Structure 1
Amino acid sequence: MKKRNMPIVYIAAVLISLFAIAPFVWMILTSLKPQAEIYSKPLQYLPQHLNAEGYKGMLNAKADPNVNFISWFKNTAIVSLLTTALSLIVSALGGYAMSRFQFRGRMSIGYIILLTQMLPGSLLIIPLYLIMKDYHLLNSYFGLVIAYSTIAVPFCTWMLKGYFDSVATAIDEAASIDGAGRWTTFVRVILPLTLPGLVVTAVFSFLTSWNEFMFAQTFLSDYDKWTLSVGIASFQGQYVVNWDYLMAGSVMTTLPIVIAFWLLQKHLVSGMTAGAVK
């Protein structure tokens, strides 16, 4: 690229970055405004009076019986971690099998798995509800984990297949010559080599369950079992919206994801390209 075009590239990058972070900045500043100021000047960025009542109210369940942020956070963390673990186990085994084993109908199964990604959640919610009702999984963490895994596993399986394809089969053969069985080769040789891919798929699975709203609202009925998305959405009523609580809860919900991306950025950057080529 010519040097005379570099300023244009930098300006475009800055403008795109500002456009991307503007909603997040607005959310933080709105969470620090009093309720009256939010309604009177909703588009004003800087608050005239700093107010942390939204954060205090979200973290103090005793002050408001309708707020149970700590419990919602714990529920969301449990469901997200279980979904991530289950999705990684299933997708790693499935991706490795599709990459290494030659069996009849292998590609057909792969395309069927990929086809499930084209179905919107609104089509899956009724069949999943009926299945969970028959197996008494409604209003339970395990049922929600299964529902989230149906979204995460197909994508993660195909993604990990790409990473396994990028690892030469000669490595499997060398491990076999050294006396390692198929399972030992998979766990102690192949998985460490695809660590960036595992991190990327783990983050995708975690985000899928952390931010999901529709399944959680449908399958969970007990107030104490709500996740963050359902709990924060409860502050948006038919006539009144508690914007200070809503924005404060949204900020505290987003921060763990931002921190996780910051800590894992090295693996994420390498993982997004490592499986792109064979």
Structure 2
Amino acid sequence: MIAKKISVNAAALLIAVFFAFPTYWMVSSALKPTRDLLSTGYDLIPFSVTPANFATAWAKPGFLQSLGNSLMVSLAAVAGAILVGLLAAVAMSRLRFRGRKSFVLLMLVAQLAPFEALLIPMFLMMRDLDLLDKLPSLALIYFAVTLPFCAWTLRGFVNGIPLELEEAAMVDGCGRWGAFRRVTLPLLGPGLVATSVFAFVTAWNEFLFALSLMKDQTKETLPVWLSGFQTNFGTDWGGAMAASALFTLPVLVFFLIVQRKMVGGVTAGAVKG
């Protein structure tokens, strides 16, 4: 029994190290001087540490503006997707209507479509509607991309809440909306947190649509701004690694804040369907 426990813990530790090593590589490279980054060998533990790369990334033109653009479009898209996805999830879970199973299957199929296949139709549609180089149009695309995931995931959480709780509240005098607001919605807290985190990461990391639809540099998002460290004269690896670390910081801070509720939500959503 003890040997089995040790082997399981060792395997979990190896998996954790495997997934954490790229992040460690990024942070350690961001702290290294340029001469160490360009050397043929690689020191697992940097002996020379400098904040110069972070200063370079912070001082690069457009960082704060791109940060604001990314936050605006990502938060707007996720807020809209969570709101509409929640309503769709409640309808798919609680209501009985003709074609419900086909609609649920359609939501799953919508998640399987690759972003690359949607690029040309989206570009042509935005061009015809004169929505290119406009941040609200980018937020609308992120909303459309994350909505199927939010609706499908939240449907699993709603299915995990017994319908009898709402019926008991309605017997006590609540209407359908009041029963949902007072009983179901508070129980969906962990599911809403978990779904919003995954949707936010999807919108935050998106690069292809932001590059293709936003030609104005003042409308760039952070992933597009990050590609500016690669030029015809070479790549500033130290600045790129430092900028990547700054790029992941908002998501990391948000994840640490909601980590406890997120873990509970993911576990519940994995076993409820």
Query: Normalising by the residue count of structure 2, what TM-score does the alignment of the two structures yield?
Result: 0.94
Which residue of the partner structure matches residue 277 of structure 1?
A: 272
Which stretch shows the higher mean deviation, 6-15 or 110-119?
A: 6-15
Q: Are 2:246 and 1:246 equivalent residues in the alignment?
A: no
SS in 1 for 2:230: coil
Which residue of the partner structure matches residue 58 of structure 1?
A: 57
SS in 2 for 1:269: helix
The residue type equivalent to 1:15 in the other structure is L
What is the CA–CA distance in structure 2 between the aligned matches of 1:18 and 1:11, rounded to whole Å? Answer: 11
Contact 2:57–2:240 (CA<8 Å) still a contact in 1? no
What is the CA–CA distance in structure 2 between the aligned matches of 1:32 and 1:247, rounded to whole Å? Answer: 9
What is the CA–CA distance in structure 2 between the aligned matches of 1:21 and 1:240, rounded to whole Å? Answer: 28
What is the CA–CA distance in structure 1 between the aligned matches of 2:94 and 2:164, rounded to whole Å? Answer: 11
The runs of 5 or more residues in structure 1 that have no matched partner are 62-66
Q: Are 2:25 and 1:26 equivalent residues in the alignment?
A: yes
Which residue of the partner structure matches residue 261 of structure 2?
A: 267
Shift of 1:139: 1.3
Q: Are 2:68 and 1:74 equivalent residues in the alignment?
A: yes
Contact 1:58–1:68 (CA<8 Å) still a contact in 2? no
What is the CA–CA distance in structure 2 between the aligned matches of 1:42 and 1:213, rounded to whole Å? Answer: 32
The residue type equivalent to 1:216 in the other structure is A
Shift of 1:166: 1.0
The residue type equivalent to 1:53 in the other structure is A
Go from structure 1 to structure 2 and tell me whether the alpha carbon gap of 1:47 and 1:3 turns closer, same or farther (over 3 Å shift): closer
Go from structure 1 to structure 2 and tell me whether the alpha carbon gap of 1:78 and 1:179 turns closer, same or farther (over 3 Å shift): same
Which residue of the partner structure matches residue 212 of structure 2?
A: 218
The residue type equivalent to 2:224 in the other structure is V
Which stretch shows the higher mean deviation, 67-76 or 82-91?
A: 67-76
Which residue of the partner structure matches residue 161 of structure 2?
A: 167
Which residue of the partner structure matches residue 142 of structure 1?
A: 136
The residue type equivalent to 2:272 in the other structure is V
What is the CA–CA distance in structure 1 between the aligned matches of 2:182 and 2:120, rounded to whole Å? Answer: 41
Which residue of the partner structure matches residue 177 of structure 1?
A: 171
The residue type equivalent to 2:132 in the other structure is L
Shift of 1:85: 0.3
Which residue of the partner structure matches residue 117 of structure 1?
A: 111
Go from structure 1 to structure 2 and tell me whether the alpha carbon gap of 1:134 and 1:182 turns closer, same or farther (over 3 Å shift): farther
1:83-102 superposed Cα distances (whole Å, 9 cap, x missing partner): 11011011000000000110
What is the CA–CA distance in structure 2 between the aligned matches of 1:141 and 1:124, rounded to whole Å? Answer: 18
Go from structure 1 to structure 2 and tell me whether the alpha carbon gap of 1:248 and 1:42 turns closer, same or farther (over 3 Å shift): farther
What is the CA–CA distance in structure 2 between the aligned matches of 1:3 and 1:37, rounded to whole Å? Answer: 44
Shift of 1:239: 4.6
Contact 2:132–2:213 (CA<8 Å) still a contact in 1? yes
The residue type equivalent to 1:163 in the other structure is F
Which residue of the partner structure matches residue 188 of structure 1?
A: 182
Which residue of the partner structure matches residue 43 of structure 1?
A: 42
Q: Percent identity?
A: 37
Shift of 1:42: 6.0
Shift of 1:174: 2.0
SS in 2 for 1:245: helix
What is the CA–CA distance in structure 2 between the aligned matches of 1:46 and 1:226, rounded to whole Å? Answer: 35
2:122 to 120, 128, 139: 128
Shift of 1:271: 0.3
What is the CA–CA distance in structure 2 between the aligned matches of 1:258 and 1:229, rounded to whole Å? Answer: 16
1:205 to 199, 207, 210: 199
